A and B are shown apart, each in its own frame.
Chain A
Amino acid sequence: MRKSKFFKVFTGLAISTMLLAACNSKDAGSSTDGEKGKKDARDIDVVFIPKMTGNAFFESGNDGAQEMAKKIGFRVKYDGAPEGTVANQVQIINSAVNSGADAIAISSVSSDGLNQALQKALDAGIKVVTWDSDVDPKYRSAYINQGTPDILGAMLVDMAAGQLENPNEPQQVAWFYSSPTVPDQNSWVDYAEKYIAEKYPNWEIVTKQFGEGNEQVSLQKGESILHTYPDIDVIICPDSTALPAMAQAAQNKGLNKEDVVITGFASPNSMRQYLENGTIENHGLWDVKDQGALAVYIAYHLAQGNELKVGGTVDVPELGEVKVEPNTVQGYDYEAEDSGIIVLPERIVFTKENTNDYDF
């Protein structure tokens, strides 16, 4: 009895799937035909994918993306999961492919975990743009870069050196960021160390600490830096979790910008209190709203059927003309005509004076 019921359900399922299959082969065919030729702005769907939702940095990126979409008239769907895991991002990419999006703009949580999913998206004719955090350049057309390693590395060192009375004298310097293998932050630090060796040969790197992108761990590591190296002069934190944690650790210990120089990259909203109470003098970041806007615009531009040529330029409303640079500026070996990097035109140093002009 039960056996037969099982098979009834089973065959029922099988038949219904076949029916569905039969009635749909036509639809699939016609929709691919429609993708050729230039599309109207209103018909273009871009899916804008953050590492995770609920983080101020990515929400601000989305604000910029939505403003751009409204201005030009295309559609942007902001789609992320509260937990920034590879499986979640893959699922979101898949559903973007399935629902017939024209382009995706993604900040990747992993440098290689998305490869399969992105390949499927490319096979389906979807344009892939990355922003903030890149993937293997083979799997995307453009990376909207906040700055190349040499720009950002030098910026970190200059922000610190500018606060020192005698930057040419010996100084004890510590690095504090998320992890020893995270690609972007390590590339900045690598360049910054070269820059230090050239420009400030007397500086001594005493330690590198990693907060794993976790607020609590970062606070503990920050406190341990201050305990272990009481004579530390400069702590540079190019990580949006490490920097506020470091500033908090210094504040907890009653230190301010006169005692130890703390600087790095984090969003102004997370650092405003430390600028205002004198714990730190300055910190930097790029305008993430511009980054989001640029990412979706380039995605839209590609989805319209335009080609992106390395060495060429793209005229972006509001942001002006941006240049497409070869992948080598970021240190990649992979080079192709249609795969390049667009570097954001400017980065911002936040101080007590200008921090209130920004909201992200």
Chain B
Amino acid sequence: MLKKIPKWNVVLLTTLLAEIIIFGLINPRFWNINILLNSFNDFVGIAIIAFFVTFVIITGGIDISGGSIIGLTSVVTGLLAQVYGLNIWVAALLAVLVGGLCGLLNGILIAYSKVQAMVITLGGMLLYSGIALVLVGFSGASTYEGISGFSQEFINLANGNLLGIPHSVIVFVVMLLIAYVLLHWTRYGRYIYLTGINQNSAEYSGINTRKIITSTYVLSGLSAGIAGIILTSYLGSSRADFGAEYLMPILTAVVLGGTLITGGKGGVVGTALASIIIGFLKLGLQMGGVQTQYIGLATGMLLIISVAFMGGQKFKLNVRRLLNLKKDRGGNLNA
């Protein structure tokens, strides 16, 4: 069953290469490696969260609160560092932990109360962005302006580069490796799959599925916290509305990456490839002269087409039948 996923990764990789070639033909500047690497800045937050939302979705759940956890951690960082004068790195660490706590709350409620994950994380989404707005009020800044004035060191966290490679790319790779090792090389990762395939049988075979489920939400919350820090550094200010528009891109990356929305099947490599595909698609279309407001259209089409191909067995069968029909006709004509 799992064998199918790597095949999907090949499809994704081909799509990515095709994308790079096509957009490069439209605007040759797209082939500038610096431009491609720097564009990671604009989707690294989405990708980091998507890696760990992949875990959640494999267990059969869903987490839509990631975007508002970004806003919350951003505000917490700004508040602690700029208003209460804490060391910026301590503030950032605490903020990531706050993200983890948000995830823990989601996870406990979902695993132990058996309410649907969508409902709980929807509530979480509204709750956390509400808290973020209230906290901005404490800082004396309006929600309009946010808290700014961070040190250059902190700004460099997302804007700097190491040996010519932007930090955002490094963060992307490190988070991908962590997620990959956790999911594919450890027993914990196998438990996540087993929980998603059939929670009851996993429970009977001695896995504490509730703990597993809770832990995936904690990871997802922590990753949203990290994304919040990166975004705060990248944009040089902390605002409650950061990440508000990330919800759909995160889910798109996970689903396009080949993770089954009903759980039990998927992987982070696919998610990583898909988030790069979506990021480059946006960049490439913009560089090709398409207005930003129409880019959602392209992403939407990509998602629908790919999911139809990937998930719908019936769809696949029908397409095959259609193709065979054509072949038969061709054959007959030749004969």
Contacts and interface: CB of A to CB of B under 8 A. Distances in A.
Given A94-B41, A95-B287, A2 B234 contact: no
Contact of B143 (A3, A85, A115, A212): A212
Contacts of B36: 17, 20
A87 interface: yes
B244 A85 contact: yes
A27 B32 contact: yes
B237 A27 contact: no
B155 A116 contact: yes
Contacts of A21: 33
A172 interface: no
A98 B184 contact: no
A88 to B, nearest CB: 7
A98 B142 contact: no
A73 to B, nearest CB: 17
B142 A180 contact: yes
Interface string A321-342: 0000000000000000000000
Interface in A86-110: 86-88, 90-92, 94-95, 98-100, 110
Contact of A116 (B10, B30, B235): B235
Nearest to B17: A16
Interface stretch (B94-102, B112-120, B288-296): B288-296
Contact of A28 (B34, B242, B289): B34
Contacts of A24: 31-33
A116 B28 contact: no
A85 B245 contact: yes
B127 interface: no
Most buried by A among B10, B20, B269, B286: B286
Most buried by A among B17, B38, B231, B235: B235
A113 B146 contact: yes
Given A79-B292, A80-B293, A110-B145, A95 B286 contact: yes
Contacts of B184: 2-3, 6
A146 B51 CA distance: 46
A208 interface: no
A118 to B, nearest CB: 11
Most buried by A among B236, B245, B292: B292
B138 interface: no
B245 A88 contact: yes
B299 interface: no
A267 to B, nearest CB: 20
Given A17-B33, A27-B29, A87-B242, A94 B148 contact: no
A161 interface: no
A180 B31 CA distance: 46
Nearest to A21: B33
B314 to A, nearest CB: 28
B17 to A, nearest CB: 6
Nearest to B2: A2
Interface string A1-37: 0110110010011001100110110011001000000
A88 B249 CA distance: 13
A20 B31 contact: yes
A87 B283 contact: no
Contacts of A54: 293
B42 to A, nearest CB: 5
Contacts of B142: 179-182
Contacts of A92: 286, 292
Most buried by B among A77, A98, A116: A98
A81 B180 contact: no
Nearest to B12: A9
Interface in B1-57: 2, 6, 9-10, 13, 17, 20, 27-39, 41-42
A82 interface: yes
Nearest to A13: B13
A91 B286 CA distance: 10
B63 to A, nearest CB: 20
Contact of B20 (A20, A81, A98, A113): A20
Contacts of A78: 291
A132 to B, nearest CB: 15
A87 B144 contact: no
B83 interface: no
Contacts of A94: 38-39, 41-42
Interface in B231-259: 231, 234-237, 239, 241-245
B141 interface: yes
A282 interface: no
Contact of B291 (A31, A77, A85, A180): A77
A291 interface: no
Nearest to A117: B235
A253 B13 CA distance: 62
Most buried by B among A54, A83, A85, A92: A85
Contacts of B242: 85-87
Given A81-B293, A99-B286, A90 B42 contact: yes
B88 to A, nearest CB: 16
Interface of A: 2-3, 5-6, 9, 12-13, 16-17, 20-21, 23-24, 27-28, 31, 53-54, 77-83, 85-88, 90-92, 94-95, 98-100, 110-113, 115-116, 178-182, 212-213
Nearest first, the 8 closest Cβ-Cβ pairs linking A and B are A21-B33, A95-B286, A99-B287, A181-B142, A179-B144, A98-B35, A24-B31, A91-B42
Given A9-B10, A20-B36, A53-B292, 15 more contacts: A3-B185, A6-B184, A9-B9, A17-B37, A20-B33, A27-B32, A31-B29, A80-B292, A90-B42, A98-B286, A99-B286, A113-B235, A179-B143, A179-B145, A212-B144
14 contacts: A2-B184, A9-B9, A17-B36, A85-B245, A86-B239, A95-B286, A95-B292, A98-B32, A98-B39, A99-B286, A112-B148, A116-B236, A178-B144, A182-B145
Interface of B: 2, 6, 9-10, 13, 17, 20, 27-39, 41-42, 141-146, 148, 155, 159, 180, 184-185, 231, 234-237, 239, 241-245, 269, 273, 282-283, 286-287, 289, 291-293
